[in-house]
Chains A and B, each alone.
Chain A
Amino acid sequence: MSNSIDIGRRGFLIGAASLGGGLALGLDIPFGAETATAAPLIKPEVNAWVVVKPDDTVIIRIARSEMGQGSLTGLAQLVAEELDCDWTKVTTEYPTPGESAARSRVWGDFSTGGSRGIRSSQDYVRKGGAVARAMLIQAAANEWSVPAKECRAEKGVITHAASGRSTSYGKVADAAAKLTPPTDVTLKDPRDWKIAGKGLLRLDTADKTTGKMIYGADVKLPGMLNAAIKACPVFGGKLASYDESKIANFKGVKKVVRVGDNAVAVVADTWWHAKTALDTLPIVWDEGPNAKTSSADTAKWLAEGLNDSQPAVTGNENGSAHAAIAKAPKVVEAVYSYPHQNHAAMEPLNATALYTPDRCEVWTGTQNGEAAFDAVVHASGLPAEKCDVHKTILGGGFGRKGFTDYVTQAVLIAKQLPGTPVKLLWSREEDMTQGKYHPVTQCKLTGAFDADNKLTALHIRISGQSILSTVRPQAVKNGVDPAVFQGLVSTGDAQIGYDVPNLLVEHSMRNPPVPPGFWRGVNINQNAIYLECFMDELAHATGEDPLAFRRKLMANHPKHLGVLEAVAARAGWDKPAPDGVHRGIAGYMGYGSYVAAVAEISVAQDDKIKIHRIVAATDPGYAVNPAQIERQIAGSFVYGLSALFHGAITTKDGRVEQENFDSYESMRLKDMPKVECIVMPSGGFWGGVGEPTICVAAPAVLNAYFAATGKRIRSVPLKNANIGFV
């Protein structure tokens, strides 16, 4: 199997523009199953980020993970821009976290979440390209005995005009690698970009159209066995016992193993054999204290937290909202709620582990190579220098694959079969019921007006789940999970865009026994619904146009307002919509970017919706690849509308009730309108792209639904209100 050869021996080479975009897996190093040491990266390198081969092929190292969001291509563009190389000769390569650890973390952070892939590494990867360029030019200058400043480089060719000489990067790369890197490089002004800033085609497309792309689920190593796993369906429960005699005669079964304290896995020759046997295996669970919990109980408990008599912490405050509300002649109040969601990446969680007493290696799709590496070190019990993680391209991530539970499981299984590689693949059912779910919250919003219909106070009280208190408790100080207030605070990369004289934003933390996680967009998903639908309610209460109402409160927030004005202009907000079509608008800030949308919908009498059009704008500061940004915007609407119309994870008797896509539906092509994207980078800051726009999808549609019907929907998904598609 050629795949096994490729994967075993090399870090991945991803994308080869010079080869028509083909994935060049493990070009030149044959597999040797006997030794399990990691293959070195391609050498020699000019510096950690750049390798130039004698044929002028440029290999750019990418530490962040590619899961569809396109930052692999974007990061390569940034390096290539500063390097001034020939883009058609660029390929990319993942360094491993083990190699990075051995080199003092030369590649920095591997974590790929929070829309940080480009914005948090753009500075040092650009410098990496610029330093390599300077070294290559210096090497040529040395060869010619001329000052480097008299030489120039373009598309990988170095020229010295005065003497008429020229050479290529590939010819001087060896000499360049021996030079001391300069410490003072100047990065280009983005206005001068030729490779970055352009909507170039992705580097990783071709093999995704031929079936050749190897995802974690496709990894195959010589002699590999396959594992199917089942963890206690009640969160916090444990594995009590199982009766493997009942599957003793099942074909292909090699071993049944305990995995940690809460799961059992069947290891077999094929995954289908493992899964079939596991489905028959009698398992006794110790369900623990959560065996009777349900979403209905959680909803009641969260509703109590909306009451001002209950303890809460403050996330943002100016003036005195309570006092202003108490004396206001007009008050508007509403309660919203948002359910748990599952990431449901198309590729279920998986990891392949090979453990020997001397070494442990894992092949997996992970959003956080270093966290996965840490998990391998801990689960294997081996020193870090005897472990490594080989990242694959991910079949979706959306936040779930930043967790490492599945990596730990794979190692714990492989440890019980030393010397035999084992691929652990979760069934869709396991993936759906053992998630790290989008947190559940409710929100009570109160707005107060004076006699002139001027908004004098806004009180936002959130009750519900904190991700950080479970996932990163050290980030929660004095009971405050700052992430809960995403988009509702006055500083940082997710600021509220409205000035209200008296503002209070609070959180009553209530954590149900359902493990929370970061889900594409995280807390902007529900917070944008709460704020932006309520703004619509407030506008309506004054009889004002929703955009005009917002404008008055946004005078000091020109970038928030800028994207709103852009979508309004494109949608023709000041002109009537076509007959029977109604509009809704929403804007927000998240991950350093400003986003807004207008949705145009019609609603048939039986509450069947047709979305005719979506106009979406984002101002991410700088746009490294506008074409990919458009795809991320359009795609985030699919994800956001899936949650709005269909998505809810509910529990009963401590168990998740949805097991597959039949009960956790997703948007289909027929229901998605074209998303008209406006990418409007205003410069001066670096905002994220993968997540921000998701949050305006739902409120724009909900506000349009109100415009069409006069009915406010304050709880999602819409399927619970029998609202569907035409």
Chain B
Amino acid sequence: MTALFVNGAKIDVDVEPDTPLLWALRENAGLTGTKYGCGIAQCGACTVHIDGQAVRSCSVTVGDAVGKKITTIEGLAQNGVLHRVQQAWIDHDVPQCGYCQSGMIMAVAALLSEKPNPSDHDIDNAITNICRCGTFQQVREAIHAAAKA
């Protein structure tokens, strides 16, 4: 058993240390909000926070995540209150199919914690997730709204 600290709780997962964190979260911890899209850190659907930084969990091993603070989409809301990014996503009706949006939201939440009022240029550089439905227009709009919230 390997102990991971996920969303403020210790979770024991029975996996080999070289298992990608993504699959330990989805299959062993049952946290399916983090999505598999490519497995090679291209699409960002699996983005989680490790010690506050946005990382692509398909390309981080469980071994490397041990002892670090992991936050998934399920842990973004605090005390039953949605994170301002989640709220902005709802207010601006951002998701279409929604499959990439967990990763998108996690990437945006990390951006805002680093740059509370990002410029369009900051957003361009930081948000590199793939969305095949093409929600980028609403994503940009909602990021600015969340920054002001």
Contacts and interface: CB of A to CB of B under 8 A. Distances in A.
A345 B37 CA distance: 9
A696 interface: no
A613 interface: no
Nearest to A66: B97
Contacts of B129: 668-669
Q: Which of B26, B36, B125 has the most CB of A within 10 A?
A: B36
B124 A667 contact: no
Contacts of B114: none
Contacts of B15: 270, 272
Interface string A211-222: 111110110100
A205 B136 contact: no
A270 B73 CA distance: 22
B134 A667 contact: yes
Chain A interface residue bracket vs B? 35 or more
A346 B32 contact: no
A43 B98 CA distance: 30
A7 B44 CA distance: 27
Interface string A264-306: 0000001110000000000000000000000000000000000
Interface string A327-346: 00000000000000000111
A635 B94 CA distance: 11
B74 A211 contact: yes
A635 B98 contact: no
A211 B34 contact: yes
B19 A661 contact: no
B138 interface: yes
B134 A209 contact: no
A395 interface: yes
B144 interface: no
B77 A204 contact: no
A226 interface: yes
B39 A428 contact: yes
30 contacts: A204-B98, A208-B89, A208-B95, A209-B105, A210-B33, A210-B86, A211-B33, A211-B34, A211-B102, A218-B32, A251-B16, A270-B15, A271-B27, A345-B99, A346-B45, A346-B97, A346-B131, A394-B97, A396-B133, A397-B97, A627-B93, A631-B135, A631-B137, A634-B137, A637-B134, A639-B132, A660-B40, A662-B40, A666-B130, A669-B129
Interface of A: 1, 3, 21, 67-70, 201-202, 204-206, 208-215, 217-218, 220, 226, 251, 270-272, 344-348, 393-398, 425, 427-428, 627, 631, 634-639, 642, 660-662, 666-670, 672, 674-675
Given A206-B90, A209-B98, A631-B138, 12 more contacts: A201-B93, A211-B31, A214-B32, A272-B20, A347-B37, A631-B96, A634-B134, A660-B39, A660-B42, A669-B123, A669-B136, A675-B137
